[in-house]
Structure 1
Amino acid sequence: MTEVLPLARTASDHVPCVVTIKTSIPKSKIFRFENFWVELEGFMECVQQSWQKSFHKAHITARIADKFKSLRGALKKWQLNFSKLKILIAKCNEVILCLDGLEELRPLLPEFNFRKVVKLHVEQLLHLQFVYWKKRCTIRYIKVAGENTKFFHAMATERHRRNSIASLKDTDGTIVSNHSQMEGIIWNFFKNRMGV
């Protein structure tokens, strides 16, 4: 369903419009294996139970294909049992904030260990989130290549800063930072080493 809504005229005699295009194209549910699942409790048991099921196919490749399909279905069901990382991190941060506010009023005696446990849990969740986004970043870069050029240019600039040479020490011990002088030092060094 497409809608066109006119907006108020501010300065000119033209009427600005907002066009909203909505489609009802069904989106296929793609199964995506997440790297951080391996570190979660119950993952190996789920894989083991699914993989040990017997399939009665004549050819070994058909049996392996069926095992992978079964494993995909089992992992889809298994991953529904745990919450989303972003929501879990937000809720843990709320608990820590409440405990910090309570500590301003009175010392935390019974709650001290609980806050410590929640903080450790947040660290684990942040590690899992890091693994998740590390994988997402590489997939996004492969799929859309130069779409996110600002980010990748910034990364390349940072890498260039780390790899750039600010100054060189000459054979007599003087420190040189001029580009042409550094170029001469490098040229002479490799010329003497490589020969004519």
Structure 2
Amino acid sequence: MMSRFRTKLNSLELKELYLNGRRYTWSNERQHATLEKIDHVFVSNEWDEAFPSCFLSALGTAIWDHCPLMLDMNMEIHIRKRFKFESFWVKAEGFMETVQAAWTSEPVASNVYLTLHNKLKATAVSLQKWSDRWIGNVELQIRIALEVIHRLDVAMDSRPLSAAEVELRKCLKRKVLGLCSLERTIARQRSRMLQLPEGDGNTRLFHQQASHRQRKNTIRVVRHNGNLFTGQEEVADAVDDYFGQAFGFCAARTHALNHTAKPRGSSAAAT
């Protein structure tokens, strides 16, 4: 039955939205309850692309035996920007020079661990600035290149293009091919579908998988100390408080190790 149902969905080109926070949506309300998931939401690929930040969750059953489903069409998820290493950076021009300059820019600190931390932090900042400056928004670059190519195509219908315009058109076509390949590589990495070769999937597929991962990994409600917390700020505060109690707090040190002191009985000069 389930295989026939999925075959029907594939023929209609529909897919099921991930339900956050619940595994079942119906109960027979008995002491040893039978639980089933019989409530679903199906969307087309076009709808999913139009609403990439939608979020499906279940409400309480109240007086019914079903869980009402609530679909938030545009849930705003504010995620603090973090450094993410892109695998395609190593193939880009200027990557090694940026890493070497950032790594050597930090002086040696009081201990090797702090030195490593400072060097890694400086390298991350430099790579992010380098990427924003030389790579930037790939999708925007593709749109600009396509628009210029379109205008040159329109002009070519009424007049011969100049030598500079012909060379620009050829250059933009090469750039579009490279940027499209780069966009697909970025989308593949963020979708985590690394077992699927790039040649077997397209950018649209990888973007849809990345949107699915974001919806699936979002936490909207947590229970802490018997209370329910909703909303991004309340959830973040509850998580911080929980792990603060679990791991405790760092007490001030009363003693320290002297790494520069020589052991007793050592000679002043090596023999």
Q: 1:80 to 1:144 in 2, by over 3 A?
A: closer
Equivalence for 1:76: 128
Structure 2 residue identity aligned to 1:93: L
Structure 1 residue 66 and structure 2 residue 110: aligned? no
Q: CA deviation at 1:77?
A: 2.3
Alignment partner of 1:91 is 2:144: yes
Quote the Cα distance in structure 1 between the aligned partners of 2:143 and 2:166. Answer: 20
- SS of 1:30's partner is coil
**Which amino acid is 1:118 matched to?**
L
Q: Shift of residue 53 of structure 1?
A: 2.4
More helix by share: 1
The answer as to 2:101 corresponding to 1:37 is: no
The amino acid across from 2:152 in the alignment is L
Q: Determine the structure 1 residue equivalent to 2:161.
A: 108
Shift of the 45–117 alpha-carbon distance from structure 1 to 2, 3 Å rule, reads same
Counterparts of 2:89 and 2:215, CA distance in 1: 29
Q: TM-score, normalised by structure 1?
A: 0.54
Shift of 1:65: 2.2
Alpha-carbon distance in 2 for matches of 1:108, 1:145: 46
- Measured on the aligned residues, the alpha-carbon RMSD in Å equals 3.2
The alignment covers a number of residue pairs equal to 127
Larger radius of gyration: 1
**Deviation of residue 112 (structure 1)?**
1.5
Tell me which amino acid in the other structure corresponds to 1:65: H
Paired residues for 1:156-195 under 5 Å: none
1:11-49 Cα distance to aligned partner (Å, 9 max, x none): xxxxxxxx99998x9742211112222233322221110
Cα distance in 1, alignment partners of residues 151 and 139 from structure 2: 19
- The reply on whether 1:120 has 2:178 as its aligned counterpart is no
SS at match of 1:80: helix
Stretch moving more, 86-95 or 116-125: 116-125
Q: Aligned pair 1:52/2:131, yes or no?
A: no
Q: Quick one: distance in 2 between partners of 1:96 and 1:144? A: 35
1:113 corresponds to which letter in structure 2?
A: E
CA contact (8 A) 2:191 2:213 kept: no
Cα–Cα, structure 1 residues 145 and 102, in superposed 2: closer, same or farther, change >3 Å? Answer: closer
**Distance apart, 1:123 and its partner CA:** 1.1
Letter in 1 for 2:189: K
Q: How does 1:9-48 map to 2 (within 5 A)?
A: 27-48=79-100
- Same amino acid, percent of matched pairs: 30
Q: Is the 8 A contact 2:109 2:115 kept in 1?
A: yes
**TM-score between the two structures when normalised by the length of structure 2:** 0.40
Per the alignment, in what secondary structure is the counterpart of residue 52 of structure 1?
helix
- Structure 1 32/108 Cα, relative in aligned 2: closer, same or farther at 3 Å? same
Change in Cα spacing, 1:114 to 1:58, as seen in structure 2 (3 Å) is same
Unpaired segments ≥5 residues, structure 2? 1-71, 194-208, 217-271
